[in-house]
């Protein structure tokens, strides 16, 4: 595989087996006896790319379903869709030997099975537990896609940190099935004491959710200045819903600044913005106004350091050494390309802007001339 300095999803294509038959990644798993067939080294990198791409599609299914969980549990087909998404990720991870991803998706699959087989009344606590479980799976897949891959020590830390949440999710689901359930959480218990101090629309969280659904759809559209501007209207509506709640207002302001920063792709923004505003709205609805932007969201607001200008005051002799210290460059974004000209060209066209394409063409022309000498 070749790496270029931009981020874009791996192209979806087929896996060609030794018999010359083409399959999608999911079909390949079934073809290879539930993943037991040994994958040759030549196809390993390509198959990994296909797995990551399909896993990200399944993550989208899970995220949307969890955000709409109260409606989803009333639709057996949608619950089934989430169950199948977790099952597919589990099967692919098992084939490739990613035990942490396999176990995490298996835990989610078991939880969705309970939703399939029982009538569950979804509350904020259940939504939060599912979101945290989803975040664990998403984190592992993002590590896998990163430049260093999924390292065993990091995966083990992620799994260890997530274990209490998975145990709590299982216990809470079992309680809801038996008609009980721990309906009170420490967050809600503390928040209830502050309820009289907060004046909100009765259906605050519901209205926020409707706006977040619209924002999620906009995040899936083309990244243009006009579309970024549309988010301003959504943020204003969200702010108006929580009039008088300063932490909520500040969170909305930080969110919009992150969206307005052209350095942030919609793909990067969507999971952070949607999750934080959803969790914050639930907390505010419960009476807990102490919401704040997470470090991940605050990081998205940061603007790259500008180059020094002539207006900058000259450093003193004591600070002269600091001037010679260059700023740490931002880590270049990357895309993965398959070694097939048409597929590679398509990925490059989707990921590069016009100036980058022209520069790449010049480089390729020069390389071709040198190769022909």
**Whole-number percent of the chain with pLDDT over 70:** 71
Task: Assess contact for 244 and 92: CB atoms under 8 A.
Answer: no
Q: For 240-278, what is each residue's pLDDT tens digit?
A: 888 888 898 899 999 999 998 888 999 889 888 988 898
Let me know: does 26 contact 92? Beta carbons within 8 Å.
yes
Percent of the chain with pLDDT over 90: 21
pTM for this prediction: 0.47
pLDDT the model gives residue 185: 39
Q: How confident is the model at residue 306, as a pLDDT?
A: 41
SS3 337: strand
Beta strand 2-4 with 22-23 is unpaired
So what's the pLDDT on residue 25?
54
pLDDT tens-digit series, residues 336-346: 666 667 767 77
Residues of the chain with pLDDT under 50: 1-23, 29-39, 41, 182-197, 305-331
Among candidate residues 112, 103, 67, the one with its CA nearest the CA of residue 85: 112
User: Where are the domains positioned within the chain?
Assistant: 2-183, 192-301
SS3 category, 242 = coil
Output the six-digit token pair for 288. Answer: 């807990």
Which bin fits 316, alpha (ψ -120 to 50), beta or left (φ > 0)?
beta
Residues facing residue 22 across a β-bridge? 16
| pLDDT tens sequence across 10-58 | 333 344 443 343 345 555 544 444 444 444 545 667 778 888 888 899 9
If 0-12 CB within 10 Å is exposed, 13-18 middle and 19+ buried, where does residue 283 land?
A: buried
Contact 166, 106 (CB under 8 A): no
- Res 201: pLDDT: 75
Given this model, what pLDDT does residue 190 score? 34
CATH of 2-183, one of 1.10.10.10, 2.30.30.40, 1.20.81.30, 1.20.120.160: 1.20.120.160
Q: How confident is the prediction for the chain on average, in pLDDT?
A: 75
pLDDT value for 108: 93
């Amino acid at each position: 595989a070749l790496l270029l300095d931009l981020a874009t999803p791996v192209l979806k294509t087929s896996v060609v087996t030794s018999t010359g038959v083409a399959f999608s990644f999911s079909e390949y798993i079934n073809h290879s006896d539930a993943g037991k067939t040994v994958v040759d080294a030549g196809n390993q990198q390509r198959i990994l790319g296909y797995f990551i791409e399909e896993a990200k599609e399944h993550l989208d299914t899970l995220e949307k379903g969890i955000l709409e969980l109260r409606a989803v549990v009333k639709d057996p087909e949608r619950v089934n869709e989430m169950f199948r998404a977790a099952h597919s990720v589990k099967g692919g991870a098992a084939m490739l030997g990613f035990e942490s991803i396999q176990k995490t998706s298996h835990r989610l699959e078991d939880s969705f099975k309970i939703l399939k087989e029982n009538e569950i009344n979804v509350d904020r606590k259940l939504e939060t537990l599912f979101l945290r479980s989803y975040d664990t799976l998403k984190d592992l897949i993002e590590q896998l896609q990163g430049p260093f891959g999924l390292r065993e020590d990091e995966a083990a830390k992620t799994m260890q940190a997530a274990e209490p949440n998975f145990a709590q999710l299982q216990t809470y689901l079992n309680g809801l099935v038996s008609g009980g359930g721990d309906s009170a959480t420490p967050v809600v218990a503390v928040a209830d004491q502050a309820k009289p101090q907060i004046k909100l629309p009765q259906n605050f969280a519901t209205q926020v959710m409707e706006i977040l659904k619209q924002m999620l759809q906009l995040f899936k559209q083309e990244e243009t200045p006009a579309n970024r501007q549309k988010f301003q209207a959504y943020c204003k509506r969200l702010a108006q819903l929580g009039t008088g709640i300063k932490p909520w207002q500040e969170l909305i302001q930080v969110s919009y600044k992150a969206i307005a920063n052209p350095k942030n792709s919609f793909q990067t923004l969507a999971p952070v913005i949607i999750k934080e505003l959803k969790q914050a709205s639930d907390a505010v609805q419960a009476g807990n106004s102490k919401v704040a932007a997470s470090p991940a969201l605050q990081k998205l607001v940061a603007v790259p350091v500008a180059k020094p200008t002539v207006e900058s005051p000259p450093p003193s002799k004591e600070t002269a050494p600091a001037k010679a210290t260059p700023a740490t460059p931002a880590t270049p974004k990357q895309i993965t390309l398959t070694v097939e000209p048409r597929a590679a060209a398509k990925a490059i066209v989707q990921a590069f802007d016009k100036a980058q394409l022209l520069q790449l063409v010049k480089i390729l022309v020069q390389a071709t001339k040198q190769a022909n000498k």
